[in-house]
Structure 1
Amino acid sequence: MIILKRMTACFVLATLLLGSTTAVAGSEIHEQNDKDIVTWEWKGIPVINMNEHWAKRLFQWGISQNIINGYSDDSLKPDQEITEAEFLKMLYRAMGVAIPNASANSAYLPSESWTEGPYRIAKLYNHPTTGENNFAMRMKPITKLRVAEIISASQGVHYTGQYAVTYLIVHGLSNSKANSPEQFDEKSTLSRAEALQWIRQLAFHGKLKIYERPKVPTDLSLLPDMIDIPTEVIPDFSTEPVTDEDFNLFMHGDFSDLKFGDSKKSIDEQFGESTEQNIFNYNIYPLFNAHFNQSGELDGWSTDSDIDVSPNTDISLFTKKEIVLGKSTVSDIIDRYGSAGVSRQGILEYFYIKMNDGTYQDISIYDPIQNIEDVYTITFIVDDETKVLYHIMVAPLKTALGYS
């Protein structure tokens, strides 16, 4: 069972790195051979006419997660006001609901508007809309108040008006520095970029799981007091610096730390000889899986909370930034590593390129990378139910993608 769960986590990571970026967005690995020298090029996620736009990386993220797509002319129109139908489609896709795009609707159901899918979901979950029985309202710009009511409903509560706004503010989900409904500017509309930014805030708080709105209004007494509620909008893609030590696995207990460059012989002596590998060519040890390069040196590892340890062993596994396996949460990880790594619900992936002077620079996986040989990833998976970290993987990007 332990090995099976570790394998499942590896498959999840492979899907994230290859599926979300390659299949959805058209990114790919190019293998180039020149006089026996093999290099790999990562194409990234191109976005038309957005290279200088503040929301470029936001749209690259949205495309990679199949949250948003362009219009028939491939334009993304980030500054265009978003309609209620567009917002519903974007939100439900972010929550993992299969919502077809407009071209798919026209191909398979030519007589049906693409808007029918999002509104069927809204009706199923009893989420409030103005366009369910009025097609014209579906294509009208949505107000921030209606967005607040839809988002709060998606969290399984039934609030309207200022109470929906209050609910979002006290839970840090309002995408606003407003600390009261009066400061929220509820009548204003928002652009496609601002709507996507709001959804990213939900991802930061682990709120991209869809719930049904109760038919009966939720008791107002359950709303927390707004006094002294700090208002915070987490930056879309913040980062924190890392060093060589951030790629090591630290341990409290009877074992020494696991460091990049350690030999298989030294690790076998410490943790017992490993003769079994998983399908990703990682050697299986009781506390972790380890990948070795052709020289027999550690160049990647993964571990999860189902580690096989003796009940008499006091062991704690953590990163240099003190993110502890089995204890830390998404907010802890964002606090120590930044928000840039948030990929989807419970998944955080950070990417760094090693510079010629030995330092590391954080990079966007959505932009082209000429040679992935110098890129490393630190990935965390947080359990959707407990909200606690259960898997960590640290490896060169090439190894994570299965190219070594």
Structure 2
Amino acid sequence: MASFKRTTIYLLLAVLLMGTTTAAASTESQSQEQDNTEIVSIREWQGIPAEGMNEHWAKRLFQWGIAQNVIHGYGYPNQSLKPDQVVTEAEFLKMLYRAMGIALPNASNAYVSSISWTDDLYHMAGYFNHPTVGDNNFSMRLQPITKLSAAEIISASQGVHYTGSDAITYLIGHGIANSEASSSEQFDGDSTFSRAEALQWIRQLALRDKLVMHERPVAPTDRSLLPALPNTPFAVITDFSTEPVTQEDFNLFGSGDLPIVRFGDMKRTVDEQLGDSEGKDIFNFDTYPLLSAHFNTNGRLDAWSIDSDTNATSSITPSLRTNKGIVLGESTLSDIIHQYGSAGVNVSNREVVKFYYEKADDGTYRDISIYDPIQNIEKVYMIVFFVDLETKVVYHVTASSFKNALSVF
């Protein structure tokens, strides 16, 4: 079982990395050593362009939205993103439903002169009984949506039937209003909002793990089930926050203060600590009772991974954890966000949370956006968490060099 689950996780990582590689449009060139005996592969990571947004506050939001297939630009070939343009109801539905993983075939033609691309959106809204003004009024589909209408759609997607101020109360009480308002009056439901603000709202839903589609009940939901409004408003989670890391954060710890393995350890050191490996898996990782480890051509550890099944099969069962205290089988998504930040959360696969770091010449690390160009991938490292969608508990952790991840997966 452990081997099967580990293989499944690695295959999922492979799909995720290939998807990122495709989206980021990496290029590869080759150069030969002077003796012509070794081919050296050099990659330049191109990132996700956000045309015309270099100085805009929502640049990373749009890079994320493009990479996650949530939003696209207007027209070809320039693909203008128009972040400050007021968002329409149809655009908001398209962004929300795509973020929730709903396939919308006609929505790919969203920004041509025709408006037929909206049909699938409104068929979907009708199927899930989500309230829209454009369902029976075709001309309203491309008119600006108000914050109140958006609140009613979002609350409906959560499986409740509230309207007006009740829908706003529901969102505020659950911390998914993308606002610091503590009342429906402060929320200002009659106002419109921009495409950038709409994308930020969807990002907030992702950070609260609320991007799951539900059908709205036909009958109104009992108002007594509305959450009590807080005395102080919910804090809006920073869209892409990060916390500092050091070399220690790439080591793996057990119940004690000393790491079980250190990133960069020689294989013989790991064998002395854990015993001889039980063999290699299909991804060339050495398997040990507590973990799987990959060693580079110099014999140094450049990736390790742990999962709940691996830990359960060991006669020694320490509480495997990261340096920041994320404990396998115990910590949750909210713990990850608290300890590492919100930057790693995505919507294309809600199960996986990924962080990327670049190592400087002085040995320090800085968070980097995978959506920006990377000049030297050999200096980039990643920490990946897998979270159970039902319990929100961490069941797998991987630390790896980015170069290894690309070559192995």
Distance 1:370 1:106, change over 3 A: closer
Tell me which residue corresponds to 2:74: 71
Aligned counterparts of 2:310 and 2:241: Cα–Cα separation in 1:
31
Q: Deviations over 1:21-75 (max 9, x none)?
A: 333x352242342545532110101111111111111100001000111111311
Picking from 48, 58, 61, the partner of 2:61 is: 58
- Tell whether the 8 Å contact from 2:260 to 2:273 is kept in structure 1 after alignment: no
Q: CA RMSD in A?
A: 2.3
Q: Where in structure 2 are the equivalents of 1:5-404 lying within 5 Å?
A: 5-19=5-19, 21-23=20-22, 25=23, 27-33=25-31, 35=33, 37-73=40-76, 74-100=79-105, 102-103=107-108, 113-252=116-255, 257-309=260-312, 313-344=316-347, 345-402=350-407
Aligned counterparts of 2:88 and 2:74: Cα–Cα separation in 1:
14
Aligned counterparts of 2:230 and 2:278: Cα–Cα separation in 1:
59
- Secondary structure at the counterpart of residue 183 of structure 1: helix
- Tell whether the 8 Å contact from 2:110 to 2:118 is kept in structure 1 after alignment: no
**TM-score with structure 2 setting the length:** 0.92
Tell me which residue corresponds to 2:2: 2
1:309, distance to aligned residue in structure 2 (A) = 3.4
Q: Give the share of equivalent positions with the same residue, in percent.
A: 60
1:18, distance to aligned residue in structure 2 (A) = 2.2
Aligned counterparts of 2:13 and 2:294: Cα–Cα separation in 1:
15
**TM-score with structure 1 setting the length:** 0.93
Distance 1:369 1:125, change over 3 A: same
1:364, distance to aligned residue in structure 2 (A) = 0.7
Tell me which residue corresponds to 2:36: none
- Secondary structure at the counterpart of residue 138 of structure 1: helix
Which range moves more in the overlay, 95-104 or 149-158? 95-104
- Secondary structure at the counterpart of residue 252 of structure 1: coil
- Tell whether the 8 Å contact from 1:126 to 1:212 is kept in structure 2 after alignment: yes
Return the letter of the residue paired with 2:5: K
- Tell whether the 8 Å contact from 1:280 to 1:402 is kept in structure 2 after alignment: no
Which range moves more in the overlay, 90-99 or 230-239? 230-239
- Tell whether the 8 Å contact from 2:129 to 2:215 is kept in structure 1 after alignment: yes
Distance 1:206 1:102, change over 3 A: closer
Aligned counterparts of 1:132 and 1:336: Cα–Cα separation in 2:
43
- Tell whether the 8 Å contact from 1:235 to 1:339 is kept in structure 2 after alignment: yes
Distance 1:104 1:81, change over 3 A: closer
Return the letter of the residue paired with 1:245: E
Aligned counterparts of 1:66 and 1:17: Cα–Cα separation in 2:
15
Which range moves more in the overlay, 286-295 or 226-235? 226-235
- Give the unaligned 5+ runs of structure 2: 34-38
Q: Deviations over 1:269-314 (max 9, x none)?
A: 3333224222322112222111101122211111112224358644
- Secondary structure at the counterpart of residue 402 of structure 1: helix
- Secondary structure at the counterpart of residue 307 of structure 1: helix
- Give the unaligned 5+ runs of structure 1: none
- Secondary structure at the counterpart of residue 117 of structure 2: coil
Aligned counterparts of 2:184 and 2:115: Cα–Cα separation in 1:
38
Return the letter of the residue paired with 2:164: G
Aligned counterparts of 2:257 and 2:193: Cα–Cα separation in 1:
55
- Tell whether the 8 Å contact from 2:278 to 2:288 is kept in structure 1 after alignment: no
- Secondary structure at the counterpart of residue 305 of structure 2: strand
- Secondary structure at the counterpart of residue 303 of structure 1: strand
- Secondary structure at the counterpart of residue 398 of structure 2: strand
1:340, distance to aligned residue in structure 2 (A) = 1.3
1:365, distance to aligned residue in structure 2 (A) = 0.5
Return the letter of the residue paired with 1:190: F
- Secondary structure at the counterpart of residue 348 of structure 1: strand
- Secondary structure at the counterpart of residue 302 of structure 1: strand
Distance 1:308 1:319, change over 3 A: closer
- Secondary structure at the counterpart of residue 322 of structure 1: coil
Return the letter of the residue paired with 2:407: G
Return the letter of the residue paired with 1:3: S
1:100, distance to aligned residue in structure 2 (A) = 2.8
